[in-house]
């Protein structure tokens, strides 16, 4: 297998795979905005339309126009607005949102929804996108989905599968010529180290955040992940927040996320963090760049 390295005048390319519209703005948005503004070709791929989501903004929850029938089209427009703010390209895979089941025992997922599909079947449109877009880097969720939503877990499964299948010349040649992505990262944005650092800073400054303190109680050492790669996003926190607010039905603009000041974030933890899950090129860890090691040469991939 050969990994094609970018030439000196070639645009660096990445794809960020997400479950629902709004996930791209709450997970890794500072990184994608930064790379797009630095000249990389950044494509956000959203697997579902968020059809089974609810209106989460208290200001809009009683809006009679936001019926279940119209919410998917509203969320598509919100995604378009966020895409413009982030400065990225965007594609839909077209799967149907699985919803977040509740109850004890949990009810079965709706027939035909994204999370119920066989992994290889669900990975096919992502394989096609990878072969067409030819990214050097892919970002996705960890095996727990970042949190255990069935669609987020399925995103991990199809991303890992597509990473392998897109490079396999024997798999579905009708989906395009094989392409070997150099590096696959897990987004690791919600972790104990980051929240602890921000909470300590706020307490020390005399402005503790009660919601953040409550959130901290959910974390222990068992939730820690390996942080291999930290991307400086201090200049992109405003872009991230604007993109998240663009998903007006999904975000409480007065919620705890927006009550953490940028100064506090910058002082305590000004990076977005990733775990390098697979690399087909030689790497030196830790990194401060998702494209680290992708420089001006053509090399043979590791087995």
Residue positions in the annotated binding site for Zn(2+)?
20, 23, 152
Q: What DSSP character marks residue 194?
A: H
Between CA 199 and CA 104 the distance in angstroms is 33
Between CA 232 and CA 264 the distance in angstroms is 15
Cis amide linkage into residue 105, ω under 30° from 0: yes
Residue 19 burial (CB < 10 Å; 0-12/13-18/19+)? buried
Place of tokens 């760049």: 289
Place of tokens 């990473």: 163
Q: What DSSP character marks residue 301?
A: P
DSSP string, 69-102: TTHHHHHHHHHHHHHHHHT-EEEEEEEPP-----
Please enumerate, by residue number, every residue annotated as part of a binding site.
20, 23, 152
Distances (CA, A) of 62 to 17, 44, 101: 32, 31, 23
DSSP SS3 for 117 = coil
Strands (E) across 111-215 are located at 137-140, 183-187
Q: Are 209 and 260 in contact (CB under 8 A)?
A: yes
């Amino acid at each position: 297998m050969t990994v094609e390295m970018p030439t000196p005048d070639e645009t660096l390319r990445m794809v960020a795979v997400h479950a629902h519209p709004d996930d791209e703005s709450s997970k890794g948005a500072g990184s994608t905005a930064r790379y797009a503004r630095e000249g990389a070709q950044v494509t956000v791929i959203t697997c579902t339309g968020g059809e089974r989501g609810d209106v989460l903004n208290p200001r809009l929850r009683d809006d009679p126009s936001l019926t279940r029938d119209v919410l998917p089209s509203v969320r598509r427009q919100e995604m378009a607005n966020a895409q413009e703010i982030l400065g990225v390209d965007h594609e839909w895979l077209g799967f149907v949102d699985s919803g977040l089941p509740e109850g004890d025992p949990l009810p079965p997922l709706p027939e035909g929804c994204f999370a119920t599909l066989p992994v290889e079947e669900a990975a096919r449109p992502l394989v096609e996108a990878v072969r067409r877009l030819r990214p050097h880097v892919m970002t996705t969720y960890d095996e727990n989905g970042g949190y255990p939503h069935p669609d987020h877990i399925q995103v991990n499964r199809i991303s890992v599968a597509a990473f392998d299948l897109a490079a396999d010349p024997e798999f579905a040649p009708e989906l395009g010529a094989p392409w070997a992505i150099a590096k696959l990262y897990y987004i690791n944005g919600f972790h104990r180290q980051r929240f602890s650092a921000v909470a300590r800073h706020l307490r020390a400054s005399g402005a503790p955040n009660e919601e953040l303190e409550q959130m901290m109680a959910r974390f222990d050492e068992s939730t820690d992940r390996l942080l291999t790669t930290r991307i400086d996003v201090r200049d992109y926190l405003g872009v991230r927040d604007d993109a998240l607010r663009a998903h007006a039905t999904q975000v409480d603009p007065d919620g705890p996320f927006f009550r953490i000041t940028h100064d506090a974030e910058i002082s305590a933890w000004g990076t977005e963090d990733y775990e390098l899950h697979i690399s087909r090129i030689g790497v030196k860890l830790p990194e401060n760049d998702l494209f680290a090691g992708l420089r001006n040469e053509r090399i043979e991939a590791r087995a």
